[in-house]
Structure formats: structure tokens, C-alpha cells
Structure 1
């Protein structure tokens, strides 16, 4: 991929931006240079255009079926040695704003009063106790979640885990009109800044000093996952495979359903494995990209990466991931955030592979409809692991659509006396002012719609199977 040159106008923009950024004392020199490098790449139009005809479906050597992975050693001592090479890193920079929360999303209660973070800590505690290993937990926060997370982490002081935190980069939002940093326009508060996506995990891990510290302890791999993916637990089969085969990077992918059509997919391209995101797809091929026939898998964002390889590539400034422009408006001012994604780094690592994992390893909670699934009898929790109820025969989860009245966690929780039983549910659609009693059972296809201005209460112990309810008379 040729590096494009900057036009004279763009060079001038960068030069002005450089002098403006040099005066921003809220951020480090590393952050300033990282930001300027990202903007230069963006202006030079170094976008990577994929030639559609060159895309090939990856073979089983490139995207390895999970079933074909060798079983890890059964010997406890061997397993301990394996786990002692691992660091678990959770991407914890996101706020739960979509779900009406003000703090880090990872502190939303998922089950039995336990938060995402509690479950993650219990899982790793269980591993460390069972095998006598020392798997540390690392949280990559953003300036938005840092302070709140530190307060919460204090409560795990007595656990048998080393918990580390570091912040991802803080970059100034760019004013579209004149390409100046928003903080220089008097917006010095939080709104002037943004965290530049989880692709920033690699340089930030290095800049924080944590990467060298882990290498000094003999750690070899980091397992990176979103803190809201309850399925992203340590997997010995994957770790063992990577160490045996010296794979520097592994992306977990899983079969695509109609709910995942926008997710990035792995392709073979010019002899390398790489991530193809919907933003890179030419308009005339978008429908093909979304089809389940041609692109059968999508990226779960569970990533396993060799620590020495991260150090080598960051030092060489070789991780030039595709730039994702994210336009926003702050107080009526049009701004631009330039971001990168960690999955896009796959093409820079040696012997990079995908592993096609079971759907159970992808259980994200992005909205209250997902929360309903994981709080229901569809799942149980043991040792911090969220396990699917074997009583459900359908491998797919029910499709749940909740109206805006349920969007915020507090509103969602107040509208259910208890979460209904949904083991036999195929789909649920709820709209309007609907309230659920206790001990309700939902089966088949259920649609509940309250007329405007009417409060519709579903009574305790109601059993609704294949029903459309528009008023009390339909129950």
C-alpha cells in the first residue's frame, strides 16, 4: 500500500495543527505525536481501497475451526505454566450512556447483584485458585471511565489477582470548519476530547510501561476483549494452539446471523488475512457483504496477541490501521473524531489466524434487550461464568425488541417485577407503556403493544404463547 503525499494545503493544515497541539498541556508528547500522525494519514487519503475481485474466502488453515483445536494439557502443572504466560485485558473505556448510565458500562449489574467487572474478577480468581497461576487483569480505561473505575477496583484489594489499569490516549476533537483542535476554541472541558477507538490499545499498553513489565514477568500473550462481552472468558484450547503454532495474533470469529450483518469479517487478501469492515465495502457490494452466504463469519473482538510482537510493531510505528472517521456535533459545532479498531491490526502480525468459535463466546450486552437475555432463565452463573441453560433446544437466542420506555436500565428494571421465563421464546416485541408482573412465562412469538396513553399491565404468573396483545382483553 503506497503512502500518499500531503498536498500543500494539507501540509499547511498539519503545520497549523502542530503548533496548536503543542500548546495543549493536558496531554503527553506521545499523545500529541500519535494524534498528529493519525490526522496526517487521514489527510493524505491513505484510505485502503479493497479490490472486490481480489477477496478470497479464508481456508481452514487461516480461520481454524474451534473443534479442530487440540485439547490443552490435562496435567495441572502444564496448565499452570500455560496460564502463567497470559494477561487478560478488558477494554473498559466505554460509558453506559446508551443504557442511561453515567459511569463505566462495566459496573452495570448483570445477575444477582454482580456487575460485568465482578464476574470478570470472579472468573480470573477461579482460574488462579484452581491452577495456582497468576493471571493478571488489566483494564484499559479512557479519561471518561478512569476515576470511577479506580474507586470500584479498590473493592477487589483482597482478591488473588493483580489488577492493573491504564488509560488509552486522549485526543482533541477536530473542528471541521478550520481543522483546529476543539480545546483551543475554549472547549477545554471533557467535550473537547475523545478516546481514539480500541485500536489504540497497542501503543497505549506500550506507553503505559505495562507491556515491558509483563514481558519482564515472562508473559507472552494478552487476551483482549470488550468488558461487556460476557462470553469472552479465558480459553485454554486457543491459548495452547497459539503457543504451539507461534501465531502472533488470533481473532475469534463466529457464524453470522441476521443480527450481525454489519459486523466486520475476515478475508484472505493478497496472501494475507485481514479484517473487512462495512465502511470499506464499495456501495454496489454492501448487500453482498451483508449476506450470510458469502461472508459467513464476523469478528467478536475477542483477540489474542503476542506481547513481543506488539512491542516490535509499535516501536517500528508499523500499525497503520484503517482510519474510521466519526463525525459529531458538540454544542452545534461540527467536529471529527478519527479512530482505529484493534481487529484491523491483524494484517500486520506474523502467522495471524482466526478461530471460528461457538456463539457462546459472543454474548455482548449493548442494550437492555441483551440485559433481559442474560438476566433471564436462559442463563445461569457459576464461578463468574455465564452459562447457557441446556433446557433450551434452539441454539439461537430469542430476538427481543423493547420500546424506548425500556431503553434506560433503571426504567427497564422498574418495569419488571421479575424477569420472565424465556426458555421457550422465539421473539418478543414490546412497545408503549407496558409493565410486567412476577413469574410470567413467554413462549413462541409474543408481541405486546400498549395503545398511546394507556398503561398495560401483564399480570403475575401469566403464560403468553404465540400471542399478540394490544390491550388487557387480549391477555
Structure 2
């Protein structure tokens, strides 16, 4: 893919941007250069257009079925050797604002009074004590979550796990009208800046010094996952496979359901494996992209990456991931955030593969409806891992739709005296001013709708099965 050249008008834009960015004292030289490069790439129109006819379905060599991954050694000294090559990185830049919380999303309580971060620390502590290994945990924060996270990790200082935090890049938002940075126009508060997506994890690992420090400790692989994916626990089978086969990059994918039709998928393209996102799909093929028949898997954003390969590619400035433009508005000013995604880096690594993992490795909590699932009797906690109840025969989780009254975590919690039993639930829809008593059981398909102005209380111990409840 040849780099496109800039028109004279765009060259002038970049020169003006360079001089404006040079005056921003809040960010480092690395951040300034990274930002200018990203803007120049986006102006050059180097966007990767996928030729639909060239897309091929990946073979089992490229997207390996989980069942065909060799079992991991059983000897605990061999397991320790594996774990000593591993570091775990959680993407911790997001705030809990969509769920009505302040501060990092990772400190929302998920279950039994434990937060996402508590569970992650417990999982790794458990591995380290069981095998005598030293798996460190890295948290990549954004400028939004940095200060809070530093305070929060204090409570783990006596645990047997090294916790490192570092910040991803901070880039200025671009004013659409004149392509100048918003902070150079007096917007110097947080509104003037943005974190440029999790594709930034690779340069930020190097720029922060964390990458060299991990390499000097003999670490070879890093397992990267979203901090809100409760299914993303260390998998020794996958780690062992990558070390044996010398795969530099592995993306965990899982079978697509109707809820995941917009998720990125893996394709074989011109002899390499790459991520295909909905934004790259020509309009006339969007329905085909969303179909479960042709594209059967989607990206969980659980990624395993070789540390030496990251160093080689970042130093060579070779990770030119597709740019995702994210338009926003700040105080009536139209601005642009240019972002990249870590999954899109797959095509730059040697021997990159996908592994088609069980759905249990993808359990994200994006909304209170997901919180209902993980706080219910559908799951139990074991060593910090969320384990699914064997009594549930249906492999899919219930589809849950809660009205806006349940959107904030505090409102959600106050509306349930206890979380209902949902082991036999297929789908639930709740709309209006609904309150749940203790010990409620939901089975089959349940819809509860309270009309405006009606307060509906479901009594303690009620069993609702396959019913539509309409309250006028």
C-alpha cells in the first residue's frame, strides 16, 4: 500500500499545525510527532479500501479452532516457565460515565463488593501464588483516569503482584474548520484533548519505557484486554501455543451472534490476515458483513502480542493502522478525533493468527443490563474469575433490555432488593418505573411494561414465566 502524497493545500495545513502544536507545553515531543503523523496520514487519504472480491475466509491455520490448540503442560514447573514469559495489560483509559459513574470504569463494583480491578488483581495473584511466577499487571490509563488509578492501586501494594501504570498518548482535538489544535485556541482544559484509541498501546508501551523494562525481565508476550471484559483471563493453552508456533500476534475471536453484527472480523486478504471493521465495508456490502453466515466470528479485543515484535515495528514506524475519524462537538465547535484500534495492527506482525475461543472469554460489561447478568445466579466467583452456572443449559446468555430508569448503576442497584434468578431466562424487557422485590425468579420470555406515571413493584418471591405484564 503506497503512501499517498499531500496536496499543496494539505502540506500548508500540516505546516500550520506543526507550528501550533510546537507551542503546546502539556505534551511530550513523542506525542507531538505521533499526532502530526496521524493527521498527515489521514489527509493523504491513505485509507485502506478493501477490494471486496479479494476477501477470503480464513482457513483453520489462520483462525485456529480452540479445540485444536494443544493442551498446556501439566507440570507446574513448566507452567511457571510459561508464565514467567508473560505480562498482562488492561486497557484502563475509559470512564464509567455511560453507566452514571465518575472515575475509571474499572472501579465499578461488579460482584460481591469487588470491582473489575479487584477481580483482575485476584486472578493474577492466584496464578503467581499457585505457580511461584511473577506475572506483572500493567494498566494503560488515559489522562482522564491516571490520577484516580494511582490512588486506587495503592490498596494492592501488599499483594504478590507488580502493578505498573503508564499513560497512553494525549492528543489535541482538531478543529474541523481550520485543522488547528483546539488547545491552541485557549481550550486548555480536558475538553481540548483526547486519548487516540487503544491502537496507541504499542507506541505508548515503548515511549513509557515499560516495553524495555519488560524485555529486560525476560518477558516475551503481553496479553492485552479491555478492563471491563470479565472473560479475559490468562489462558495457558493459548500462551503455550504462541510460544511453540512463534506467532507474533494472536487475536481471540468468538462466534458471532445477532448482538455482535457490528463487531470487526478477521479475513484473509492478499496473503495476510487482517481485521475488517464495519467502517471499511462499502455501503453495498454492509448487510453481507453483518450476516452471521459469511462472517461467522468477531474480534473480542483479547490480544496476545510478542514484545520484541512490538519494539521492532514501533521503532520502524511500521504500525500504520487504519485511522478511525471520531467527530465531536465542544461548546459548539466541530472537532475531530483521529483514533486507531489495536486489533487493526494484526496485519503487520509475522505469523499472526486468530484463535476461535469459547464465548465465555467474552463477557464485557458495557451497560447495567450486562451487570444484571454477572451479578445474577448465572455466574459464581472463583479466584477472581467469573464462572458460568452449569445449570444453564442454553449456551447463549439471556437478552436483557432495561429502560432508561436503570441506566445509572446507582438507580439500577436501588431498583432490585436482590438480583433475580435468571438461569432459565431467555429474554427480559423492562420499561417504566419498575421495582423488584427480593428473591424474584424470571423464566422464559418476560416483558414488564409500566405506563407513564405508574409505579410497579414486583413482590418478593414472585415467579414470572413467559409473560407480558402491561400496567396502565
Deviations 1:195-216 (A, max 9, x none): 0000000000000000000000
SS in 2 for 1:73: coil
Runs of 4+ aligned structure 1 residues displaced above 2 Å come to: none
Q: Which residue of 2 aligns with 1:182?
A: 182
Question: How far 1:359 sits from its partner (Å)?
Answer: 0.1
Tell me the distance in 2 between the aligned counterparts of 1:392 and 1:185: 57
- Matched ranges for 1:39-438 at <5 A: 39-438=39-438
Tell me the distance in 1 between the aligned counterparts of 2:390 and 2:333: 52
Q: Which residue of 1 aligns with 2:25?
A: 25
Tell me the distance in 1 between the aligned counterparts of 2:277 and 2:416: 37
SS in 2 for 1:89: strand
Deviations 1:18-43 (A, max 9, x none): 00000000000000000000000000
Q: Which residue of 2 aligns with 1:14?
A: 14
Tell me the distance in 2 between the aligned counterparts of 1:289 and 1:174: 31
SS in 2 for 1:134: coil
Tell me the TM-score normalised to structure 2 length.
Answer: 1.00
SS in 2 for 1:153: helix
Tell me the distance in 2 between the aligned counterparts of 1:25 and 1:39: 19
Tell me the distance in 2 between the aligned counterparts of 1:150 and 1:458: 42
SS in 2 for 1:443: strand
Tell me the distance in 1 between the aligned counterparts of 2:406 and 2:78: 48
Question: How far 1:471 sits from its partner (Å)?
Answer: 2.3
Tell me the distance in 1 between the aligned counterparts of 2:178 and 2:191: 18
Deviations 1:302-329 (A, max 9, x none): 0000000000000000000000000000
Deviations 1:148-191 (A, max 9, x none): 00100000000000000000000000010111100011110000
Tell me the distance in 1 between the aligned counterparts of 2:247 and 2:45: 32
Q: Which residue of 2 aligns with 1:37?
A: 37
Tell me the distance in 2 between the aligned counterparts of 1:211 and 1:438: 49
Deviations 1:207-248 (A, max 9, x none): 000000000000000000000000000000000000000000
Deviations 1:437-473 (A, max 9, x none): 100000000000111111111111000000111129x
Tell me the distance in 1 between the aligned counterparts of 2:97 and 2:374: 19
Tell me the TM-score normalised to structure 1 length.
Answer: 0.99
Tell me the distance in 1 between the aligned counterparts of 2:175 and 2:332: 11
Q: Which residue of 2 aligns with 1:458?
A: 458
Question: How far 1:102 sits from its partner (Å)?
Answer: 1.2
SS in 2 for 1:180: coil
SS in 2 for 1:279: helix
Give ranges in structure 2 of 5+ residues lacking alignment.
none
Tell me the distance in 1 between the aligned counterparts of 2:71 and 2:467: 46
What is the RMSD computed on CA atoms of the aligned residues? 0.6
Question: How far 1:403 sits from its partner (Å)?
Answer: 0.5
Aligned length, in residue pairs: 472
